[in-house]
Amino acid sequence: MNDREILARVNEFFDENYRQILAEGGAHVLTPRALAQAREQVEHYWKKLREIAVNVTETEVRLQLPNQTTPKGRKFVIEGVVDLVREADRIRMYDIKTHFCAEVIQHTETYAAQLNVYAYIWRELRGQEIHDMGVIAIQLPDGLREAIRQNAQLEIERELALWNPLVPIAVDSDSLEATFEKIARIVDDIEDGKFHAPPPSRLGEVSGADENAGGRKVLFATLHCRNCDGRFSCGSYREYMNTGRKAGRGTDVLRYIAKTHDDGELDEWIDGNIELDLERLIGE
């Protein structure tokens, strides 16, 4: 298959996945513009990560390490999903994250601990060594996102050339024991309801810089809270969001809604959901 045929196939997969997600009730209908932007992002991921994608031999490999025990005697399972590339006598492992590259680089030890646990599980299950590892941080840089929004093709190409979503991670088994102990303690803390969120002031502090966005400063809340499933039940996060405007940080939810939606898009979104509901009713 040539590049044009492969890209057409990628778009077919996109359409199939979108229809399946809608059918399963896992998402709302996207506006036409949002759907077009999502499709374009997928195409850019393909163009940027083509070399890795065409060489992946096993995708979404589920790794499980059962029968782990916490200090308080609780049983738990360590589980993860990775992609693998086999080349001759070497195996490379990749973990895809919806994070900024700078976040991964700044906290490499955290990501390395996770990937080395996965490498250990793979070795225990398959009896094979992992030779190379990496994190693919797919959060689009601000510059590329803005160029896509404006449909500025020259700027898109420039930003794509600057964007490097792959962060290599060293294979190192020396820290495994400490990592397993830490995971076990965290499981006990979760089960005991012990959560110690940083104060709201910490969430508004600069926690890093996104090198793919020209060194733009990134707040703690952007790097960490955005990817936390429990953020909306977190007192620190709620207070941070409620006081964001007063503190001049401009991080309140309304700002993002106003920035990314207009009345026309809202009408299209409502119409799309009505049409979907009607199709479901007719189908029943």
pLDDT tens digits, one per residue of 15-57:
998 888 888 776 667 778 778 878 887 888 888 888 887 777 8
Highest mean pLDDT among 19-33, 53-67, 241-255 belongs to 53-67
| pLDDT score, position 246 | 42
CA–CA separation, 159 vs 143, rounded Å? 6
Mean per-residue pLDDT over the chain, rounded: 80
CA–CA separation, 29 vs 188, rounded Å? 39
Count of Cβ atoms closer than 10 Å to residue 172 Cβ: 14
pLDDT over threshold 60, residue 283: no
| pLDDT grade for 134, boundaries at 50, 70 and 90 | very high
Q: 84 with 129: CB under 8 angstroms?
A: no
CA–CA separation, 145 vs 259, rounded Å? 14
pLDDT over threshold 50, residue 156: yes
| Residue among 140, 117, 2, 7 at smallest CA distance from 63 | 117
| Residue among 169, 171, 166 at smallest CA distance from 128 | 171
pLDDT tens digits, one per residue of 159-215:
888 888 899 999 998 889 999 999 999 999 989 988 788 998 898 888 766 555 556
Three state DSSP letters for 244-268: CCCCCCCCCHHHHHHHHCCHHHHHH
Under 8 Å CB-to-CB from 119, ≥6 apart: which residues?
A: 93, 130, 133, 171, 173
pLDDT tens digits, one per residue of 79-99:
998 988 888 788 999 998 878
Q: C-alpha angle 100/104/108, rounded to 5°? A: 175
pLDDT tens digits, one per residue of 117-127:
999 999 998 89
The token duo for 21 is 């997600």
What domains can be seen in the chain, in order of their start residue?
55-194 (3.40.1350)
Q: 110 with 118: CB under 8 angstroms?
A: no
